[in-house]
A and B are shown apart, each in its own frame.
Chain A
């Protein structure tokens, strides 16, 4: 399946995010910042695409790939803590 640079960035980011879960887990469990990063990444995609459409700026392959990468990485990191057991305290 052919993909554009933004999608390439997203897929690459998803892969990098998944393999980084064991390392980032300790920094994401119980924290809100990964969800904020995800929300910002989504909003940036919409702003970048809309700005290009209405002619405010012209995005490039590099900018599309970079923003896609950010979105792709932020998804697995946002849900990383769901992959780990939470032991009962008692």
Chain B
């Protein structure tokens, strides 16, 4: 009897503990490609990878994105951020600003930005990325060599990924990258507004495909954190605006089309850019 009571209590407790978690069916079935045999699809966890901020910046660079002083956030404002969530997002912003300045050979600003990134990293348990490596010194010793800096930034990204995994804080990965992505889109949008370069519009369009991956990654965390939930809602609102663009609809309906085959008008881009500016303002406000 006592055993039965305990068992029932444990079962009840399990239900109580699990109650506020969403119902999540992690499996599905599918016919195998080669065999035709029905296989179970394992949907557990994140199903996407996210590109590094440097790779995003390089894509914009290939589109002819010019350097315009004053667009980046500035390297001296990290002090305004108090929560780990805010710091992770702003670290992403700084990562994109660093990539933008490195690719445009702005050595002094790059040096300051890396110093700030190191400080913010230390505040969100990523201090080992720099403390246990010589990456900071290597970066400063190669300031005039963009190719070498590309490799060093790749190594910083690698060490960051290792530390996130080792520290059991893989959720930070999506948050940091979402900040980086918004900043890269913000820089692209500002340059487009000032220069009107059509290739930058195509780069912005190509980057919009990444937003779905970001949302997929963030949603895979099944978070109960209010800040992250609100941030996911904001990014989802941007996705809705993007999906409503005639150019995106045309691309989705015609899989053989390339980005260069669709030319979004400035009217189409306006609500997207406005939302990106809002998101960026929300991040830098802290």
Decide if A and B are genuine partners: no
A contact set with B: CB distance below 8 Å: none
> What residues of chain B have their CB less than 8 Å away from a CB belonging to chain A?
none
